[in-house]
Every structure is written in C-alpha cells, then in structure tokens.
Amino acid sequence: MRCPFCGSEDTQVKDSRPVDDGGAIRRRRQCPACGARFTTFERVQLRELLVVKKDGRRLPFDRDKLARSIRIATRKRGIDDEQIERIITGIVRRIETSGEVEVPSTRIGELAMESLGQLDEVAYVRFASVYRDFVTVRDFEEFIRQLPEDEEPPAAPARVEAAAGQP
C-alpha cells in the first residue's frame, strides 16, 4: 500500500485486527520512508455501487472519498476512524438492502447527514454546510435555525429545497 503522505510504495503493517463484527480488517501501517502512520480497512465488496452525480454522470461509489468528507466534518470532534467506518458501512448497507445498484449522490449525502446527526451536531452542521452547497451566509443561518434546540439531533433532517432562487 502506497504511503498517502510521501508516495513511497513500501509501507509496513504494524497491526491487524477484525472490526465491524469481522466484516472488515483494520490494519495500522507505517511508512519507513517518512515515518507517517495511517490506517487501512479491508472488506469484502459484493457488488459495485454506482453513484449518479448531479450532472448525470455515473461513477463507482468511492468509499474513501466519503470517508474523507466525513473525516473533515468530524475533525477534532473526538470521532475516530472506526466510528467513521461504521457510519459508511451503515450507509452502504442501507443502499444495498434497498436493492438499488445506482444511487444518487444526493442520497448518499442525506444518509451521511442522518448518521452524523445522530452522532455529533457540530459534525452534522459542518457536513451539511458543504453538502447543501450554501451560497450565502443567510442560507446557512436559515439552516441552523431549523435545527432543533433540544438534546436530540434530527434523525432525518428536513430536506431544504434548493436554497438558491428563493427571495
């Protein structure tokens, strides 16, 4: 596995253990060239999901890309890689059990928001602010106002119909 930091081809596995009830193997790796440590997850892929982008293009579902965006949203929120993996596994399972082979990118965004909403409100708002493509601060404030004030983050956030175009 190539080092994501320096690009060296030769990285070492320091530790392997099953996670997700044996559904995945977590490996801690270290790069001898630059000393970076990182984690990889290995799992069975039964079939390839296709993501339909807003412009109609179909691309293979990119688990790592979703992990990166969730990782950005959860930065410094005390949410570790395993929790992020569980979120993604949950999303993939929900899509797979729906029987769909093609899934709109917006649906993946909604599922990620649902999961983050149950986990951490700050991460939820961060993810939502990117996902919903807020164009103005006002849109963002409007969205924040819709969040419930109580302890319970929304399980299924209300869909904001395209904020653009409103007076």
| Nearer residue to Zn ion within complex by CB, 39 or 69 | 39
The Cα 19–Cα 33 span in angstroms is 28
Q: How many CA atoms lie within 13 A of 60 on its CB side?
A: 6
The Cα 109–Cα 117 span in angstroms is 12
Minimum separation from the CB atom of position 28 to Zn ion (A): 14
Minimum separation from the CB atom of position 11 to Zn ion (A): 7
Q: Does 3 engage in binding with Zn ion (CB under 5 A)?
A: yes
Q: Identify whether the C-beta of residue 103 lies closer than 8 Å to the C-beta of residue 52.
A: yes
Tell me which stretch binds Zn ion (CB under 5 A): 3-11, 19-27, 98-106, 139-147.
3-11
Angle, CA 129 vertex, CA 126 and CA 135 arms, to 5°: 150
Q: Does 1 engage in binding with Zn ion (CB under 5 A)?
A: no
Q: Does 8 engage in binding with Zn ion (CB under 5 A)?
A: yes
Does residue 63 sit in helix, strand or coil?
helix
| Nearer residue to Zn ion within complex by CB, 33 or 122 | 33
Phi-psi region of 33 (alpha: psi -120 to 50; beta: other; left: phi over 0): alpha
Does residue 24 sit in helix, strand or coil?
strand
Tell me which stretch binds Zn ion (CB under 5 A): 2-10, 56-64, 145-153, 154-162.
2-10
Q: Which of residues 25-44 bind Zn ion (CB under 5 A)?
A: 31, 33-34, 36
Q: Which of residues 44-103 bind Zn ion (CB under 5 A)?
A: none
Size of the site for Zn ion (CB under 5 A): 8
Q: Does 140 engage in binding with Zn ion (CB under 5 A)?
A: no
Residues at the contact surface with Zn ion, assessed by CB under 5 A? 3, 5-6, 8, 31, 33-34, 36
